[in-house]
């Protein structure tokens, strides 16, 4: 297995570790399993709200057997239920990531059918995840993979993990 990637068993170990912390810290994350024989068969999800614009985000973490890394799927909608367009999602990417978005628009954030739910979701493309995670030197415990990964990729789409997640051994 390539450096920076994880097996599905390691993914689940990391999910259990992450959920244990979530139970202690904020109780915002839950596991939902789908009984579908698909290539990507595991999901971790949360609901969150941005306070300034009153958007509701739904985040799912799905293990990709193709890339051997987690993939962040998400949707965002206004109070009236209208989903944000891909262009609106791209417009909301923080300025620090805009150059990368401009260079790699279609391999950065895109939209496709959710592998478990069968409906359109936005997602952060997993093709660079292993490279990203290989470059995180402090990641010696694979149980902390989800925390490190979410801390690195979540801010791109407005998902901020509380610092307390990274302060637990």
Which domains are seen in the chain, by residue range?
Answer: 8-167 (3.30.1460)
pTM over 0.85: no
**Catalytic residue ranges:** 127
Percent of the chain predicted with pLDDT > 70:
82
Compute the 3-state secondary structure of the chain and give helix, strand, coil in percent, each to the nearest 5. 40, 25, 35
Please give the Cα distance from 36 to 55 (Å, whole number): 30
Report whether pLDDT(88) > 70.
Answer: yes
Please give the Cα distance from 148 to 142 (Å, whole number): 10
Higher pLDDT, 105 or 141: 141
Report whether pLDDT(30) > 60.
Answer: yes
Report whether pLDDT(53) > 80.
Answer: no
């Amino acid at each position: 297995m390539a450096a920076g990637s994880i097996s599905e068993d390691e993914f689940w170990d990391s999910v259990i570790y992450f959920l244990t912390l979530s139970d202690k810290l904020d109780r915002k994350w839950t596991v939902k399993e789908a009984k579908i024989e698909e290539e990507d068969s595991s999901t971790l999800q949360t609901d969150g709200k941005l306070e300034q614009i009153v958007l509701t985000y739904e985040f799912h973490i799905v293990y990709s057997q193709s890339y051997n890394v987690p993939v962040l799927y998400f949707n965002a909608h206004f109070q009236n239920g209208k989903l944000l367009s891909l262009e609106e999602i791209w417009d909301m990417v923080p300025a620090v990531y805009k150059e990368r978005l401009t260079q790699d628009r279609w391999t950065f954030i895109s939209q496709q059918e959710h592998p478990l739910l069968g409906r359109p979701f936005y997602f952060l493309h997993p093709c660079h995840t292993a490279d990203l995670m290989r470059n995180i030197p402090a990641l010696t415990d694979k149980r902390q993979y989800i925390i490190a990964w979410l801390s690195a990729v979540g801010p791109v789409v407005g998902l901020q993990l509380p610092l307390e997640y990274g302060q637990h051994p």
